[in-house]
């Protein structure tokens, strides 16, 4: 059974078609990598799936579980378990990472099960510290303002920590590996791998195969000029890294 079914999906930005009829079937527990050069529409695809208002869906259908994803507001998509990790996470001064995650955890818990008992601040603090320890993140990191003054790697670590706390059903990772050093890359990859299960699927957008040395995908897709032009197994990523995208652009 497919968890996320995307059929002939089309997206415009400012009246220009960017995603031009993408079809993908994401099964439960699967990791799909979408690779391609800059400007191929990869980021537009995942932002449109999340419901970003700047992206106009002009055609196709998307089924998430048994629901029409496109009929849901962005916050409803998040409540159903869709998660987007941004390439450039926003800064929020005056809100600590811990308070942000506590509020997000409470909202998500209530949305998924209105009768579920909320964690107390003390119990959440313990839970958060446990997750941070597993991801090799210093506990003091949680007391800093969200993304304020964070390095690129720290911002990505914060998003992986958020994903670990919220436990989404499908994670859309938009170039999460961009600009990361090896240590930060491993933290990101370990966070994704720790969540891998039949109840967790991933669409991983990336330019390079580097992160795929740490996260083994089930399928690799090449996106060129708004279309998926070829797909393959895990070994396909290494071929793309060696050969590049030139043959698709000629």
pLDDT tens-digit map of 29-84: 999 999 999 899 999 999 999 999 999 999 999 999 999 999 999 999 999 999 99
> What pLDDT does residue 156 have?
85
At a CB cut-off of 8 Å and minimum separation 6, what does 70 contact? Answer: 57, 61, 62
Give me the number of domains the chain comprises.
1
Backbone CA torsion sign across 147, 172, 249, 211: positive
**pLDDT at residue 8 tops 70:** yes
Cα-flanking dihedrals φ and ψ of residue 221, to 5°? Answer: -120, 140
> What pLDDT does residue 165 have?
94
Lowest-confidence segment of 52-61, 182-191, 223-232 by average pLDDT: 182-191
Closest listed residue to residue 4, CA positions, set 24, 19, 34, 32: 24
pLDDT in tens, 125-180: 999 999 999 888 889 999 999 999 888 888 888 899 999 999 999 999 998 887 78
- Write the CATH number for 175: 3.40.50.300
Which residue range(s) make up the domain with 196? 2-249
Averaged over 21-33, what is the pLDDT?
Answer: 97
């Amino acid at each position: 059974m497919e968890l996320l079914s995307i059929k002939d999906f089309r997206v415009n930005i400012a009246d220009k078609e960017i995603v031009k009829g993408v079809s993908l079937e994401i099964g439960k527990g699967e990791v799909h990598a979408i690779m391609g050069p800059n400007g191929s529409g990869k980021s537009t695809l995942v932002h449109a799936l999340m419901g970003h208002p700047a992206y106009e869906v002009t055609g196709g259908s998307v089924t998430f579980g048994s629901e029409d994803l496109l009929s849901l507001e962005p916050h409803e998509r998040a409540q159903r378990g869709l998660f987007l990790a941004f390439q450039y996470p926003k800064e929020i001064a005056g809100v600590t990472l811990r308070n942000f995650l506590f509020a997000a955890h409470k909202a998500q818990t209530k949305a998924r099960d209105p009768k579920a008992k909320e964690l107390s601040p003390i119990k959440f603090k313990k839970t958060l510290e446990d997750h941070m320890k597993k991801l090799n993140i210093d506990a003091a990191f949680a007391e800093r303002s969200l993304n304020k003054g964070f390095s690129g790697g720290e911002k990505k670590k914060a998003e992986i920590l958020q994903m670990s706390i919220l436990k989404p059903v499908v994670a859309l990772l938009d170039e999460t590996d961009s600009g990361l050093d090896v240590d930060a890359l491993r933290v990101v990859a370990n966070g994704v791998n720790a969540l891998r299960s039949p109840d967790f699927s991933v669409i991983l957008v990336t330019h390079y195969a580097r992160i795929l040395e740490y996260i083994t995908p089930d399928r690799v897709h090449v996106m060129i000029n708004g279309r998926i032009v070829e797909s393959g197994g895990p070994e396909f990523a290494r071929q793309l890294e060696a050969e590049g995208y030139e043959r698709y652009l000629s």
